[in-house]
């Protein structure tokens, strides 16, 4: 896999899976545009990634800003990772709408902008998550949004073809530095007996960007949790 002579806009690239994806793309010779809201974290991410990284302030719910960021970057690839995750089923309608604003409408805004500039051999990858297919009341809002994202990629894969559009769906990922007790408990519930690292998910994102025969699919990195 090589990303030499390519540019990827990573919305959500200042943290977690988005940052790990930007890191892998840069290590393979690609350019990245890190887009997110928090100035300090975004600037630090771009600085750490090195000279192949630039950064842009954007809130993915602001369609005009997203369109400007993506079209000006003229990327070969687009990656979207942001989420708003209110927990529990007892959430307000406003919180549920905000979950859709960020992760459904935001990704759709970015996709519609990217289609204007992306080359025919380009690709887009969006983050989903296990709660789309395994209901967990704690993750009701993001679960239903993730299911919408997984359906969205099928429609966009057809509409934008030959540009490829896919999703990557992890289960729990250690993006927040979990303690050993929590790590052991989560690992013991999945056949792979480990907790996913952001780099594991980033590798799947890069595969989905790079593989010319993959589109409309959701790659599941759940450690085999659906088997037990």
- Torsion sign (Cα): 53, 56, 60, 64: negative
Could you give the CA distance from residue 221 to residue 200 in angstroms, rounded to a whole number? Answer: 8
- 222 is an interface residue for ligand NAP by CB under 6 A: no
What mask, x for binding ligand NAP by CB under 6 A, covers residues 75 to 94? ------xxx-----------
Cβ proximity to ligand NAP: between 172 and 209 the closer is 172
Residue 61 lies near ligand NAP (rule: CB under 6 A): yes
Residue 215's CB is within 10 A of a number of other CB atoms, namely 21
Quick one: 28 or 62, whose CB is closer to ligand NAP? 62
Q: Which is nearer to ligand NAP, 28 or 44 (CB)?
A: 44
Tell me: does residue 52 bind ligand NAP (CB under 6 A): no
User: Considering beta carbons, is residue 119 or 191 the nearer one to ligand NAP?
Assistant: 191
- C-alpha 49 chain-centroid distance: 18
Tokens of 176: 């927040």
What is the DSSP track for 80-130?
E-------SS---HHHHHHHHIIIIIHHHHHHHHHTTT--TT-EEEEE--G
Residues that bind ligand NAP (CB under 6 A): 11-12, 14-18, 36-38, 41, 58-61, 81-83, 102-103, 127, 129, 142, 170, 172-173, 175
């Amino acid at each position: 896999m090589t990303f030499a002579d390519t540019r990827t806009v990573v919305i959500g690239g200042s943290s977690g899976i988005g940052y790990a994806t930007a890191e892998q793309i840069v290590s393979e010779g690609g350019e990245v545009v890190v887009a997110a809201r928090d100035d300090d974290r975004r600037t630090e991410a771009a600085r750490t990634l090195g000279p192949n990284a630039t950064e842009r302030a954007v809130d993915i719910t602001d369609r005009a800003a997203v369109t400007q960021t993506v079209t000006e970057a003229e990327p070969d690839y687009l990656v979207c990772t942001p989420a708003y995750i209110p927990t529990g089923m007892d959430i307000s309608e406003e919180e549920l709408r905000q979950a859709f604003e960020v992760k459904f409408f935001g990704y759709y805004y970015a996709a519609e902008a990217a289609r204007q500039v992306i080359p025919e051999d380009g690709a887009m990858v969006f983050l989903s998550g296990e709660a789309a297919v395994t209901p967990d009341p704690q993750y009701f809002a993001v679960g239903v949004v993730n299911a919408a994202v997984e359906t969205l990629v099928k429609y966009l894969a057809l509409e934008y073809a030959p540009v490829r559009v896919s999703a990557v769906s992890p289960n729990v990922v250690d993006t927040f530095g979990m303690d050993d007790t929590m790590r052991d408990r989560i690992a013991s519930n999945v056949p792979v007996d480990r907790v996913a690292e952001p780099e594991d998910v980033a590798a799947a994102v890069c595969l989905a960007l790079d593989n010319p025969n993959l589109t409309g699919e959701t790659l599941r990195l759940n450690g085999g949790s659906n088997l037990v």
